[in-house]
Structure 1
Amino acid sequence: MRKNPVPPELQTTVSHVSDCCLRSFHGYQIKRTFNVIQSDLNRTLKPFDLRMITYSALVLIVDNPGLRQSQLAEAMDIERPNLVVIIDELERRDLIVRDRLPQDRRAYALKATLAGRHLCDNAIAAVKVHENRLTQGISPDALTSAMKVMQLIEANRSREG
């Protein structure tokens, strides 16, 4: 049996966990905010049978017809082997097609089908409602500033890498 190193008179019961120290870090606050956004986005995309990652891939393919798988992996910042599962799922659902590139038989050009474009349009409309709901009461100037700050943080990572 293990002995408790803290004497009973010094033991307390925590009724509320304070994360004040962590909340002073931008990364922690961004992660907490992302958790809220992701949870609501998952509910928003569920009727379309999409996840955040499949939605992102579909939007990029619709917006960039003929995109190569390697370009999509880079744009999504994911490993190419992980992308194959996503592409397979979208193709199985007849939302996209893979066409071999004549100049490089190892590469595929990705294109959305008509069904994929329709689903994408409907999902984007739902995501806009989701974003409007979550940003309700926040001024357009504040949202623009927040977007600029996030872009600057991302750019700083690029300069270090």
Structure 2
Amino acid sequence: MTEVPLGFLLVDAARLYRARLDRAFEQAGLGLTAGEARTLAHVSINPGLRQGVLAERMNIEPMTMVGYLDRLESQRLIARDPDATDRRAKIVRLTEMAAPLLEKVLAVAATAREEALAGLAPDQRDALRTALEQVRANLSPPSRSPEA
């Protein structure tokens, strides 16, 4: 039997993990779609980004991002502030109201992550993280300012 190429394994694992996260968010009863929950998590991890950059990081269309942000803003979970360097652009930030819900989102994600990593020893988890960080660094475009 032919060994499955590493790229196939990586993409398939990412696809399955995303599907598991989406199911977990949908089943958690948080009052958010999976996309909205992922958006809150991304804004938390990447504070101060323009909404277009956030869409790129999440690998979604800008109009999809606008929909997520509109719904999150209507729930007063995020705010969009003018970018001081380009008044046409908006910087996305979490509001204080987001904190309790974000905590639940991160707990749901942690449970799904534990399912995905079941059977891996702590040193294997560390090695996987290190390897994935290196792959990401190898494939990332040269750094631009975080607000770009």
TM-score (normalised: structure 2): 0.74
Pick aligned residue for 2:79 from 87, 93, 97: 97
Alignment RMSD:
2.7
Greater RCO (CA < 8 Å, at least 6 residues apart): 2
SS in 2 for 1:114: coil
- % identity of equivalent residues: 27
1:41 aligns with 2:24: no
Aligned-residue offset at 1:103:
5.5
The answer for the alignment partner of 1:122 in structure 2 is 104
Aligned-residue offset at 1:142:
0.9
Give the counterpart letter for 2:112 in structure 1: H
Note the alpha carbon deviations across 1:115-143, whole angstroms, 9 max, x for none.
32221111101211221122122101111
Note the alpha carbon deviations across 1:26-69, whole angstroms, 9 max, x for none.
11112222233122211211122231x43332123234554332
Matches within 5 A, 1:45-124: 45-46=25-26, 47-48=29-30, 49-51=32-34, 53-101=35-83, 104-124=86-106
The answer for the alignment partner of 2:119 in structure 1 is 137
The answer for the alignment partner of 2:146 in structure 1 is none
Structure 1, 39-48 or 59-68: larger mean CA deviation:
59-68
Give the counterpart letter for 1:58 in structure 2: L
Task: Return 5+ residue gaps in structure 2 as ranges.
Answer: 143-148
Partner Cα separation in structure 2 for residue 79 and residue 155 of structure 1: 23
Q: Which runs of 4+ in 1 moved over 4 A?
A: 63-66
For these two proteins, the number of residue pairs brought into alignment is 139
Structure 1, 73-82 or 125-134: larger mean CA deviation:
73-82
Whether the 8 Å CA contact 1:62–1:117 is kept in 2: the answer is: no
Structure 1, 81-90 or 69-78: larger mean CA deviation:
69-78
TM-score (normalised: structure 1): 0.69
Structure ID, larger Rg: 1
Cα 1:159–1:87 shift into 2, 3 Å: closer
